Amino acid sequence: MNEIQYLKSAMAAIAAVAVLGLAGCSTTAGVEATARTAWDDQGARTLEKNVVFNSGSLKGDIQIVDIKSAMVGDIMKAQATLRSKDRDTLPFQYRFDWFDAGGFEINSGAGAWKPLLLTGRETKTIQAVAPDPRAKEFKLKIREPD
């Protein structure tokens, strides 16, 4: 084998290992629930909600029953109620990402993924507090564990 063939083989092996390594990492959220503070015609605070399922398997396993937020002083607090749609115990990971009124992320990528275990048909409530008073919107991300 000459030097060029050896280098091509080595590069192909490195690329294959990199692809397999990335396939095992679950970096994308399978479920994203977004809530944004808005105000109605009378000036009352409302919460606009949106849920997106990026994973067909998670859509069959988990239900987002409710999403709420409240202001504690000038800090936003978020709460979500989740329900397992499966009879088996299911492990998940979740995190809250926070955004200002303009939609810019606050403390980008600083939130760690937290473990969540739902037993068959169990309902659990999870909560988080914004890291900054500028937070007016949050996104709850849920994924299968790595």
Q: Of the CATH numbers 2.60.40.350, 2.60.40.3230, 3.30.750.24, 2.40.30.10, which one belongs to the domain with range 29-143?
A: 2.60.40.3230
**Residues 54-104: pLDDT tens digits?**
877 788 898 989 999 999 999 999 999 999 999 999 999 999 999 999 999
- pLDDT recorded at residue 117: 95
Report how far Cα 53 is from the mean position of its chain's Cα atoms. Answer: 11
- pLDDT recorded at residue 28: 64
* 76 touches 130 (CB < 8 A): yes
Q: Map out the domains of the chain as residue ranges.
A: 29-143
Q: Is pLDDT larger for residue 37 or for residue 132? A: 132
**Residues 3-17: pLDDT tens digits?**
444 333 333 333 333
